[in-house]
Amino acid sequence: MSIRRKPGDWVWVKAGTGFTDESNRLKVEIQDQGCSPCFLCNDPECTEWDTLWTEPDPENSNKRHMLCHVAECEMFDEKQ
């Protein structure tokens, strides 16, 4: 079972997770922009979050990048 997450939580994801604008930042914050059931795993309680924002990118004027459609089963508490 994946961990239940909530808006404002900071989590780690692996490179290539979700739809993104080519960021190499892997620490992301869940936004309160809606969610839906996960279709990646068999956990009926797993949630796919619509919008997440990365930590600021110091190599790109501290820009934050958006990730879309990331499921809880793709999130980690520590860097992978």
Q: What confidence score (pLDDT) does residue 18 get? A: 82
pLDDT digits (tens, 9 = 90+) for 7-24: 999 999 988 888 876 666
Q: What confidence score (pLDDT) does residue 21 get? A: 63
pLDDT digits (tens, 9 = 90+) for 20-58: 766 667 899 999 878 889 999 989 899 999 999 999 988
pLDDT digits (tens, 9 = 90+) for 51-80: 999 999 888 899 888 899 999 999 998 887
Q: Residue 53: what are its φ and ψ, rounded to 5°?
A: -120, 140
